[in-house]
Amino acid sequence: MTGILDITQYTPRGLMQLSQIASLLGTPSGRGARFVANFDEDTTTMSIEAIRMLDSDLVIGASALWMATTSPAYMVKSNATAVHAATQMRREVPSFDVGVSLRAAFGSMRAAHDSRGIAVMSDTWSGLPGGEDERLGADAAGAVVFGSDENSIAIIKHWRSSSVEVLERWKLPTEIDSQSWDDRFGTEALGAILNSLLESENISDKSIIAISSANPRSASLAAGLVGSARVVPNMEHGFSGVADTVLKLTAALEIAQPGDNILLVLISDGIELVMMEATECIKDWQEKHENRNKQRLAKHAVKYADFLSWRGRLSKQVPRRPEPQAPASPPSFRNSDWKFGLAAAKCIECGAVHAPPEHRCRGCGQVGNFDSLSLSRLRGTVVTFTIDKLAYTPAPPLVLVVVDFGNGARASFEVTDSDSSEISIGLEVELVFRRINTAAGVHNYFWKVRPIPNF
């Protein structure tokens, strides 16, 4: 049998208070806050961060990668291959994009289950300014690794599916925002099928039910059909598209005990169910999950006007320097190990580390005698920095730092997820994969650094 070996969730540091919506637009805003992807984040970069939180041995040993999103950074071109490259998976491991619908969440998981690979789900979810999707939405990503049941935290018992063609929520390829019919229609259209499927499950008061749906009425209906079973509440900071499924599953596993049955339900163009049973390994995973999930506590306040600007809703004057040129394909391909894997070159003769890689060692003069050394998972220290208020950036000022990695490597990076006032010499930073800019329809990806919070 096959089970879940590991599962992670990634939420951006950006946090926008919903009260700002009412202040700017004079419309109802709701309470609390929502997760907001930074201007340099998209579904590709968030997928990478979710996978980088998995155990590295599982990523290296994965047999396939399946990526799901309703907001792909590229159409036609694969986004999964960029995720594959930045997480340094083996070249022979296949990577595929799985559709652009909410059902793709289950599609990626079923494919990863059958191939014993990794499913990653990522979305930026919003709508018209002041609308419900904007207020109740969130940006997030999550990753699930499937493998042998002997090391699983939860063993898959069965999957059930009911595909139904129903016009409940949709978006044309040329549009930014999705549309939806009245919530009551979707609930009525799928209610009988949902009831029938749930009746066929062995649900008890000890079962844990996780329900994902863009339609709150349908989710409430499902919650009412499972009796006294424990139902995972809605995510605190909003519905996150395909990522909502993996975030709900993660929340269920956080409270599971060995032997508990967990039922994950997706309501979208039909019903998808997967029943699993938590194993004795769940305790070790919960402890590990709590430790590595502390990153969610570090938050960076986002203004509503900036959020609108990053989503293309509001045009703002940026620093009046020439806009960046699109990266050329040939040099990007030749330097892909550095660009995506941040692979420095370590001289075999003298041990000098060159970042970016060089053909000739500056230490001993040897030519072409190097080993590859990835810096992407290392932390570093800021040795000098500059704050440029004139350089082009959607979020001025642009902060550049030189980082020392403690192994002889030093390199320059942009700073993200922080205010310029936070940067100082000696500051400890970590690497994150981000979008540098977009020009002529081409996304220029590379690594940036952000401060490591002190908890």
Q: What would the DSSP string read from start to end of 278-319?
A: E-TTHHHHHHHHHHHGGGGG--EE--HHHHHHHTTSS--PPP
| Strand pairing category for 65-68 and 95-97 | parallel
Whether the pLDDT of residue 30 is over 80: the answer is: no
Percent above pLDDT 70 for the chain: 99
Task: Please compute the mean of the pLDDT values over residues 187-201 and round it to a whole number.
Answer: 93
**Mean pLDDT value across the chain:** 93
**Based on the domain organization, do 117 and 152 belong to the same domain?**
yes
Residue 215 pLDDT exceeds 90: yes
pLDDT digits (tens, 9 = 90+) for 280-337: 999 999 999 988 877 667 888 999 999 999 998 988 877 767 778 888 899 899 999 9
Residue 244 placed within a domain:
yes
Q: Which domain holds residue 447?
A: 329-339+378-451
**Do residues 305 and 394 share a domain?**
no
Tokens linked to 443 = 């996304």
Backbone angles phi, psi at 265, to 5 degrees: -125, 130
CB 246 within 8 A of CB 105: yes
Checking if the pLDDT of 415 tops 70, the result is yes
Query: Would you place residue 145 in the very low, low, confident or very high pLDDT band (cuts 50, 70, 90)?
Result: very high
Same domain, residue pair 137 and 279? yes
Q: What is the DSSP letter of 149?
A: G
Q: Which region among 114-118, 390-394, 435-439, 451-455 has the lowest average model confidence (pLDDT)?
A: 451-455
Residue 97 structure tokens: 């994009």
333 and 305, same domain (yes or no): no
d(CA 234, CA 305): 27
Pairing relationship of beta strands 208-213 and 179-180 according to DSSP bridges: unpaired
Number of domains in the chain: 2
Q: What is the H or E stretch that residue 252 is in? A: helix 243-255
pLDDT band per the 50, 70, 90 thresholds, residue 125: very high
pLDDT of residue 193: 94
pLDDT at 149: 79
Residue 28 has pLDDT above 80, yes or no: no
Residues 127 and 257 in one domain: yes
Asked if the structure places residue 348 within a domain, the reply is no
In sequence order, the 6+-apart residues with CB closer than 8 A to the CB of 137 are 34, 125, 126, 127, 238, 239, 240, 241
CATH assignment of the domain containing 233: 3.40.47.10
Residue 258 lies in a domain: yes
In this structure, are 269 and 335 located in the same domain? Answer: no
DSSP per-residue codes, 387-418 = EESSS--SSSSEEEEEEE-SSS-EEEEEB-SS
- What CATH number is associated with residue 407? 2.40.50
Return the pLDDT at 104.
Answer: 97
**One domain, residues 130 and 278:** yes
Same domain, 298 and 192: yes
**pLDDT computed for residue 147 by the predictor:** 95
Q: Is the pLDDT of residue 159 over 90?
A: yes
- In terms of C-beta density within 10 A (0-12 exposed, 13-18 middle, 19 or more buried), how is residue 22 classed? middle
Distance CA 100, CA 223 (A): 26
pLDDT, mean of residues 249-272: 97
User: Are the CB atoms for 353 and 373 separated by under 8 Å?
Assistant: yes
Instruction: Please say if the pLDDT value at position 177 is more than 90.
Output: no
pTM: 0.95
Strand, helix or coil at 151?
helix
Q: What does the pLDDT read at residue 297?
A: 76
Q: According to the model, what pLDDT value does residue 1 have? A: 82
Does 26 lie in the same domain as 148? Answer: yes
Q: Is 430 helix (H, G, I), strand (E, B) or coil?
A: strand
- pLDDT, residue 234, reads 85
Which alpha helices (DSSP H) does 335-445 contain, by range?
A: 336-341
Residues 41 and 157 in one domain: yes
Q: For residue 1, give the 3-state DSSP assignment.
A: coil
Residue 405 lies in a domain: yes
What are the residues whose beta carbons fall under 8 Å from the beta carbon of 420, sequence distance 6 or more? Answer: 387, 397, 399
Find all residues with CB under 8 Å of 124, minimum gap 6, and list them. 37, 41, 42, 43, 46, 71, 139, 241
Same structural domain for residues 208 and 335?
no
Query: Does a structural domain hold residue 12?
Result: yes
Check pLDDT > 70 for residue 455.
no
Query: Which positions ≥6 away from 156 have C-beta within 8 Å?
Result: 1, 2, 3, 4, 113, 146, 274, 275, 276
Section 50-56 average pLDDT? 95
What does residue 192 show for φ and ψ, rounded to 5 degrees? -65, -40
* Over residues 122-133, mean pLDDT: 91
Residue 297 lies in a domain: yes
Residue 424 within any structural domain of the chain = yes
Residue 358 domain-assigned? no
Task: Give the residue, 173 or 240, on which the prediction is more confident.
Answer: 240
pLDDT attached to residue 237 = 82
Q: For the chain, what percent of residues have pLDDT higher than 90? A: 79
Q: What is the mean pLDDT of residues 358-370?
A: 90
One domain, residues 290 and 411: no
